[in-house]
Amino acid sequence: MRNIPTGKEDAVTTMTAAEQRSRAKAEYDAFVARCPSRDLLDRISDKWVVLALAALRGDGAQPFGADCSGEPRPMRYSELARRMAGVSQKMLTQTLRSLERDGLVARTVTPTVPVTVTYELTDLGLSLHQVIRGLKGWAEAHMDEVFTHRATYDARTG
């Protein structure tokens, strides 16, 4: 912080933009209603975001149901669309744009005929990739238990 003289005996304390960002970062708390990290949590917890981030990995030739092992690599839109069964073109486009806007995915256009567009994880996206892969794996590994609990709950509550 720096002091800015006002011509009076006392000084007004102000913060630089970097100091304000640093202070805000220290104050992020998703349990606070107006915290901007809630928007990010909302974005990265979306089903299509989770699947897109998990899909941007190695060997795209794996069949559905296979794990997302391998190193992340650039993928074409059509590869992602095939990998993410059930996603509409509109939803995949919106998802990739939001990930690009947040700095998690980079979009590269190569001037070929036809134009080639690829998507790949940025360093920021890579830092989230392992967490997302773990979340996807957990859901797949525990689905039978969840089905059992759901059936028990539904039978009990009618």
For residue 21, the Cα-to-chain-centroid distance in whole angstroms is: 21
> 3-state DSSP call for residue 103?
coil
pLDDT of residue 14: 80
CA angle 145, 141, 67 (to 5 degrees): 160
pTM: 0.71
pLDDT of residue 71: 65
In a 10 Å sphere around its CB, with 0-12 CB exposed, 13-18 middle and 19+ buried, how is residue 135 labelled? middle
Instruction: Please tell me the distance from the alpha carbon of residue 133 to that of residue 4, in angstroms, as a whole number.
Output: 50
Instruction: Please tell me the distance from the alpha carbon of residue 15 to that of residue 93, in angstroms, as a whole number.
Output: 39
CATH class held by domain 36-61+72-157:
mainly alpha
Contact call for residues 37 and 28 (beta carbons, < 8 A): yes
pLDDT of residue 61: 40
Contact call for residues 117 and 109 (beta carbons, < 8 A): yes
pLDDT means per 10 residues in the chain (158 residues)? Answer: 51 72 74 90 92 74 44 86 94 97 95 92 91 89 97 93
Quote the radius of gyration of the chain (alpha carbons, Å).
22
Strand partners, 119: 75, 107
E strand or H helix at 14, and its extent? Answer: strand 11-14
> 3-state DSSP call for residue 93?
helix
